[in-house]
Structure 1
Amino acid sequence: MSFYKVINHHLIQRNSSWRAPPHATKTKRAYSKSEIEVLHLSFAKSSMAATSRGAMNRQQQLAVTAFALGLMGLGVLALIYGDFALVWQPVPNSLPGRSALAYASGLLMLFGGIGLLFRATAVWSARILFPYLFIWMLLKVPALVVAPKMEAVWLGFGEIAVLFAGGWVLFATLAETNSSRLFTFVSGESGIRLATILFGISLIPIGLSHIIYTKQTVDLIPSWLPFRTGLAYLTGAGQICCGVGVLFAIVPRFAAMVEGGMVSLFAILVWAPAILASPKTRLPWTAFFITWFFASSAWVVATQARFKDRAHSNGIVR
């Protein structure tokens, strides 16, 4: 049974159960494709409005909580070390007031993450974190200009672009913006769609890095796991497939969830043991929270975005 036949069946059943007044004539009719599309678009808009008021389902709440915890962890590290997140936040050492900016960045991440946990402050947190994460992503642009043929710089940009995509989806979903053209472009359905596209594109160079830098990837995989080289290729191909799936609407929600699951395993299997082995070393802690933040961004995209089914992409929001 096709998608539209299923929807028609449910609508007709609901229409049949309605008790009409004695003077009215009750009829069964098939709903047209355009009527079903309007109903679905109306439902999607009402769902977004409910979410912006804080009415999230359990999956969405868990994803936002994980996102907030990742931010808070990075914020605490910035305050402890008085520094940015190593290679993931390449702020030049020559920048005047760099140390003060690092503490300010840590406070912003810490309190921005805390703000996302409460309905009363989530909107303002999303508004503040959106430009912050955008500036963070821009820190990776100079490397792209200097060495555009080096895959490693695209990997670095892709990782932070995924973090920004997660923050963008939250901004587009939660932040109640005015009607100006700029805010209309980056918020609501338009903002979520653009953030999802950025998310999908960013996964491709990340997956390619597993294949191009196989040795470095294998070195990160725990030694007790078998077929480590095969796993490096498999995870790289998996991330590329997830990116393509999101971009071309091939089971996109499932693709985003698989990406979140894979990266969650990276945090647990790679960086958690490294922390236990050397709890006073800064790198494992930073890498763990970056990886956690990355995974939670994928979960945010998977749970918050309104994907379109490739088979029914004529305006039907899934």
Structure 2
Amino acid sequence: MHRSAADSACAAGIVAFAVVNLTFGSFALQYQPMPVSLAKLSWLSIASALVMVSAGSAMAWPRTTRIAAMAVACWLATWVVALHLPTIITHPASFGRLLPASEVVAMAVGPALIATTGRGAEPMTRIWLCLFAAAQFVFGLCHFLYLDITSSMVPGWLPGRAAWAVVTGVAHLAAGTAMAFRIRLRPIGGLLAVMYLAFALLVCAPLVAATPDRHLPWLMLTITSCCAASAFKVSTLDYPFRADIAAVASRSHDA
């Protein structure tokens, strides 16, 4: 399988995320709510991180890229379904519960697209694009629902911190809309990746530098990097998809 820079970025992001959790010896906050009985099992968090490190590393080898990427996507999806979905169903109006689930979904999109991109895979590609779009909607709405928190994360040297929070929230919503309708995937994916990288450099990296012994800033940095890699992967997709072209050609022929 031919590897692209986006594939390498996805693999590096997943490995970095897993190494952070392995280093701190605890489950990522994005895996919460974790049952108390499981959260106390340090060996389980280490095993989970090792699975991610192994699968992420295997994504770097052309012969195992696709199957390893599918393993990563399935592993992350398992956490969403097993831990987040039950609480989302019981508290559907709580965006605080949707946010961490959406972050895990956004992380999984890049590896999932690597695993499913190819001849005959257009339906699965569309599904993952819709999931990534849904995650962008959640991120964007959270910018407005939690405007004070979002504004406080904007670097103090930037003027109009609330305005930046609003603008980036609108950008998430716009990107989600474009991906849901598969409009200009290459430029939208590329611009979204740049925005995530800006978050990583301007928001997350300074927090890591200020408090390198805390788990949360490292999680924020690696998760944001994984989201950037997923958006980068979206920017490499060919659209219109072959199936869409065939459908248009068939309708034109029938007419």
TM range (shorter): 0.7 to 0.9
Residue correspondence of structure 1 range 1-318 to structure 2 within 5 A: 54-56=1-3, 61-86=4-29, 88-90=30-32, 91-95=34-38, 98-138=41-81, 139-173=83-117, 188-303=121-236, 305-308=237-240, 315=247
**Alpha-carbon distance in structure 2 between the residues aligned to 1:314 and 1:254:** 24
Assess, with a 3 A threshold, how the Cα gap between structure 1 residues 254 and 314 changes in structure 2: closer, same or farther.
farther
**Is the 2:84–2:101 Cα contact (8 Å) retained in structure 1?**
yes
Tell me how far apart the structure 2 counterparts of residues 74 and 249 of structure 1 sit (CA, whole Å): 29
Question: How many Å apart are 1:314 and its aligned residue?
Answer: 7.2
Using the size of structure 1 for normalisation, the TM-score is 0.71
Cα RMSD (Å)? 2.3
Is the CA contact 2:73–2:109 (under 8 Å) kept in the aligned structure 1?
no
Which secondary structure state, in structure 1, belongs to the residue aligned with residue 17 of structure 2? helix
Q: Distance in 2 between matches of 1:97 and 1:227?
A: 43
Q: CA shift at 1:266, angstroms? A: 0.5
The aligned residue for residue 252 of structure 2 is none
Closer/same/farther in 2, CA of residues 98 and 238 from structure 1, 3 Å limit: same
How many angstroms apart in 1 are the aligned matches of 2:140 and 2:113? 22
SS of residue paired to 1:250: coil
Measured in 1, the distance between the counterparts of 2:191 and 2:139 equals 15
| More deviation, 96-105/212-221 | 96-105
Cα distance in 2 for partners of 1:227, 1:164 equals 33
Residue 190 and residue 223 in structure 1: after superposition, are their counterparts in 2 closer, same or farther (change >3 A)? Answer: same
Work out the CA distance in 1 between the residues paired with 2:40 and 2:185.
Answer: 43
Give distance in 2, aligned partners of 1:123 and 1:97.
33
Bigger radius of gyration, 1 or 2?
1
Once residues 298 and 95 of structure 1 are traced to their aligned partners in structure 2, the CA distance between those partners, rounded to angstroms, is: 32
**CA displacement 1:293-318 (0-9 Å, x = unmatched):** 11111111221x33339xx977469x
Counterpart of 2:20 in structure 1: which amino acid?
Answer: L
Q: Which has the higher contact order (CA 8 A, sep 6+)?
A: 2
